[in-house]
Structure 1
């Protein structure tokens, strides 16, 4: 996830112009059949996001909709959207900022289902800004003018950090963001090469166990219950295979309901699905999953992206969000 999304968008456009990419399988209005499931290739971030899909597969919730998911966790971050546009993947999981940025650049994608959501509880979310145990930073106000690690520059990390700090009345103009991978942040923070680090689970829980202190919860403090993740498909695929898209939406909704009704079952399954220790699986704060996209969250993120210069802020959500994806 260190690559710039601008590079990703350019790569996707080049693929389109060159006419490259795998076939989407042609046009079909037939609904998938659970007796002979339709194979779907989907790219998703390793860890809890991928575990969500794998849990749905394990429980037979996607198969019940006639789908067999092939989940690729190697193609993360910037590779997801170009892979979807080129046809290498039928669906891809990406954060909402990346999706909105791609849409603002004219890439032919559709948001077909929601991914992760923040909680509605300040001081209890799966994303936090951490500081070292002995750091002079004792509150979010002290982050003004500091050097903060984020996994990707000009993306959902710095956007929500700025929004959350501004909500607290903090001047964000002097903050310097440094690009680092999530697994590398705690060691870099401990060495004093950054003042703070924006982490997600399981790294938030791992950091707290080592004495690092949270001083800001960017997702929930910028907007409670913020929609953070999403699933996208190419506009071409959505138009050609609407029944498959509908089946995927139902599989996502069923998996979200299964985890909401039995979070302990999901925690127990996590170590067998992804590289999460049993201890971390029990301690970490889980994201929230829902059946439908939150248009208020998408509008909020689009407005903030325009404010911070990532886009012009004029993103047509009616065009971007596919039928059945939102209420």
Structure 2
């Protein structure tokens, strides 16, 4: 177990970034067509081809899922992933062509200090290229923190980032999470180093500090970053179980609890919080509703851990006024 979403058999992750622009792309490639769904609970989402993931829609499988920076400009990243997949013979066969199915979600990272001339109408965006590079880089091992879709991510008080975690559910099946943390609020409690996700931590994976001895009203006071649309936490949870699209939808909904456990606030009108859920089908189906509940609860827990790991692993961007990283503020 790597404590990464790639512990789920059939999932590969690749990153690409543009350091000058302070933005990036993460591609989740599936080794074979995979059942997936999603749930949006934030008020300002940015997505592509997510309607087809609803249980009543015709398409049953996806080839990849993409998380990206860039706000609406970042939606071009899926073009690059599609091109790479088609070049490797992947996709839905139609009329002698292959059409890769690649839904996507984006976050807002335009105001983090990077140079993004396309957002001022000057030149082409880098996202198609970054999508191709992320797909080509997909593998079992990948970086956390300031990487991929989390490269330019921030929170209200600290640098955000790309996080991942995994666990074996009581059913014996593996569940993993991947998240780009660009929250309107905070992953940490008040002004201190403790993470809201502390009760779910495994093996000191984000510092092992637990919760503070007491949490005061001042530490639970809401703090907000930016304005409407300048946030969004985007995530994927995956399992090696066999699930239907409806069951994957239920897992996506349940996994949103992980955002609520690790970020304050989550699911705000200012966020576009979305969770994808995928089932690669390499192990058995849940035996009953209780077994499905085990998978859903595990998905929420690993997503909470992944949020904290993403912030804990991040490094600050090299721009004036950039948010400090957790390690800058609190040491080792």
TM-score by length of 2: 0.27
Larger Rg: 1
**Structure with the higher fraction of residues in strand conformation:** 2
Bigger share in helix? 1
